[in-house]
Amino acid sequence: MVASLVSASAATRTVIVSGLGGEPRYAEAFARLAESAAERARTTGAEVTLLTGPAATAGALRAALEGLAGASEPADAAAVILLGHGSYDGETYRFNVPGPDPTDAELAEWLDALEAGRQLVVVGTSASGAAADAVRREGRTVITATKSGTEQAATVFGEYWVEALGATSADTDKDGRIGAAEAFHFAVASVERHFESRGLMATEHARLEGPDTRIVLSRLAPERLLDAESRLLVARRTEIEERIAELRTERESMDIEAYFARLQELLLELAVIERDLEDGS
């Protein structure tokens, strides 16, 4: 199988929430990040629910997740992205929003209603590592901005996560789309640089757990409408990509020169297809 990202199309639904900022400038920054993330998600055709500012209450989040649960089916994909501040008192994680803060247990309960076969939960807040245990489920990718609840300083992970959604250098497989793993690795590298360049000890260490759900979070270029000829080319492209993926699994057992010769053969055909697709667009 080709490990390409699965297009969101109509079956991917995304909930993005920016919580309280403590100070107005933080709240505004979180809201801007959430809006950017929503904008990027819409480039994939996903249905997006965005909650920011006073609207981002626990009740609204619960309702949004209930709506997501009601609409999603096992074949679908669901992404939930929480940005802002979180807290941890040694026992309970809380996502800081206007009004009562939802706890890790409540978030887990609301998320458990989701039936989407592929799920991504990103908790990009301080202390978010404390939420990982509660929200972890089989088949769900969980990303947290910190490794534990004790990393309680304001995080920069969310900022770089959102930057990744529009960065060509985050697209490490160069397919024009940003997936969760790509965004995560870009954000982690950026967070490291952030602290290093300021001569500071890193106060956050992000975690990624669970399978690669291959949910597309962003497209770097708009999807093209294809004519019949192009559709044939795309089908052939998929076929070649599958062959390349198969070939890669045989790399260790093959003569290396033979491997690269075969790889080159396939890639040359792929190159011609890409050129033709480009010319036809």
- Using CB under 8 A as the binding rule, whether residue 276 contacts other proteins is answered as no
Q: In the window 224-253, what residues touch other proteins (CB under 8 A)?
A: 240-241, 244, 248
Burial degree of 118 (CB within 10 A; 0-12, 13-18, 19+): buried
Kindly state the smallest distance separating residue 233's Cβ from other proteins, in Å.
13
Q: What share of the chain is helix, strand, coil (3-state, %, to 5)?
A: 50, 20, 35
How far apart CA 119 and CA 104 sit, in angstroms, is 17
- Using CB under 8 A as the binding rule, whether residue 29 contacts other proteins is answered as no
- Using CB under 8 A as the binding rule, whether residue 108 contacts other proteins is answered as no
> Per CB under 8 A, which region of 68-76, 120-128, 135-143, 164-172 contacts other proteins?
164-172
Applying CB under 8 A, among 59, 169, 202, 223 the residue interacting with other proteins is: 169
User: How many CB atoms neighbour CB 35 within 10 A?
Assistant: 15
**Considering beta carbons, is residue 60 or 226 the nearer one to other proteins?**
226
What would the two tokens of residue 199 be?
A: 């001569």
How far apart CA 6 and CA 213 sit, in angstroms, is 8
Kindly state the smallest distance separating residue 68's Cβ from other proteins, in Å.
31
The overall longest dimension of the chain from CA atoms, in Å, is: 64
- Using CB under 8 A as the binding rule, whether residue 264 contacts other proteins is answered as yes
For residue 6, what are the β-bridge partners?
Answer: 215
Q: In the window 187-206, what residues touch other proteins (CB under 8 A)?
A: 189, 193, 196-197, 199
The enclosing H or E element of 79 equals: strand 77-84
Kindly state the smallest distance separating residue 88's Cβ from other proteins, in Å.
29
Applying CB under 8 A, among 175, 209, 212, 239 the residue interacting with other proteins is: 175
Residue with structure tokens 């009601």? 70
Applying CB under 8 A, among 223, 275, 280, 281 the residue interacting with other proteins is: 275
Residue with structure tokens 């807290």? 87
Kindly state the smallest distance separating residue 169's Cβ from other proteins, in Å.
5
| Cα four-point dihedral sign 43, 18, 106, 65 | negative
**Considering beta carbons, is residue 91 or 201 the nearer one to other proteins?**
201
Burial letters for 229-259: b for 16+ Cβ neighbours within 10 Å, e otherwise? ebeebeeebeebbebeeebeeeeeeeeeeeb
- Decide if 17 contacts 83 (C-beta within 8 A): yes
The enclosing H or E element of 197 equals: helix 180-197
- Using CB under 8 A as the binding rule, whether residue 271 contacts other proteins is answered as yes
Kindly state the smallest distance separating residue 168's Cβ from other proteins, in Å.
9
Applying CB under 8 A, among 62, 137, 185, 194 the residue interacting with other proteins is: 185
Q: Which residues would be at the binding site for other proteins (CB under 8 A)?
A: 169-170, 172-176, 185-186, 189, 193, 196-197, 199, 240-241, 244, 248, 260, 263-264, 267-268, 270-272, 274-275, 278
